[in-house]
Amino acid sequence: MTATISDTLLNWYDKNARTLPWRNPPGAARPSDDAWPYRVWLSEVMLQQTTVAAVKPYFEKFTRVWPTVFDLAKASDDDVMAAWAGLGYYSRARNLVKCARVVAERGGFPETEADLLKLPGLGAYTAAAISSIAFGHRAVVVDANVERVVSRLFNIDEPLPGARKAIRAQAETITPQSRAGDFAQSMMDLGSQICTSKVPRCLLCPVSNVCEGRSTGEPERLPVKPPKKAKPERRGAAFWIEREGSVWLVKRPGTGMLGGMRGLPDDGWSARSDGSGEAPLQGDATSLGAVRHTFTHAHLTLELHAIEGAAPPQGEGEWWPLDTLEEAGLPTLFAKAARLALARD
């Protein structure tokens, strides 16, 4: 049964693989140049908790500006953070630069999972994906799509996250010795195109005849997920200080919410849940309205105030020309606030 699953999925993948800018065609020889593991690594970091559609333009931009890991290692933190703006989960961008510098210093990417795990920002999934896809080593790759496929194939009905040990054990049994990278990508494609979360397309699935979840009549209930907790509501304030065609932008601390990014000065909302706090600026304030943004852990309503006659707050910052504000690399929250401020004109 297990050999049938891997063989069948590889045959299906050979005919149905998605064409993606970071992917080698199925069955093709792996490129031998240093840019190949870089592209695999970069795509896998970008794809963490982010859709393929959202990642494509960022991947193309990064590989155009920084074609190799050695180019990225030489980039400034500010340039990388600005290029990442809008993709979210900004700790990934901070770790991206750290990792690039470590890899460049050692002369290239290591090949084994154990050595890849020593790099900044790489977890078990990413290390396995790079080892198998970029270097052809056998590694068990389990992302959310693979998790869903395996839980249905073997009818693993223990709730997550407890089920992950059993899911990985079963994924181990079906991962072949050869073409492990293609096999991992076949599972990803099956999960994204056929074995989808809400309405699995079982009639089109190449392994539906051996799927224990399908035999129950309710494959869509797997994997069993715990009830989602309601996200807390947060409130905060940001301040628009404009002078002679420029706006004052601050550099946020390197750690914490939106760490290392440019943004508008604010009242410290990221450290509070009750919306308390005092405006750090003195001057005539005019309310410009509010923007709402959802983070992984909370919803935020951010009140925006224009401050007339205020001196910039203390701390690292700069006057940024309004006509090039799109080049500042503002994260989505502050980009929304900027659009609100500019809409008043």
Q: Which tokens sit at 32? A: 């031998």
Q: Which tokens sit at 141? A: 């790759």
Q: Which tokens sit at 294? A: 């959802």
Catalytic residue, candidates 44, 113, 147, 303: 44
Instruction: Give kind and range of the element (H or E) at residue 263.
Output: strand 262-263
DSSP annotation of 201 reads: -
Task: For tokens 């990792």, name the residue.
Answer: 99
* Bridge partner list, 284: 308
Contact in structure between 134 and 112 (CB atoms under 8 Å): no
Euclidean distance between CA atoms 62 and 75, whole angstroms: 11
Cite the DSSP H helix spans in 69-224: 69-74, 77-84, 91-106, 113-116, 124-129, 135, 144-153, 164-174, 180-193, 212-215
Answer yes or no: 111 catalytic: no
Identity of the residue numbered 55: V
Phi-psi sector, 243: left (phi>0), alpha (psi -120 to 50), beta: beta
196 to each of 5, 152, 193, 204, 242, how far by Cα in Å?
A: 18, 11, 6, 12, 48
Residues with catalytic roles? 44
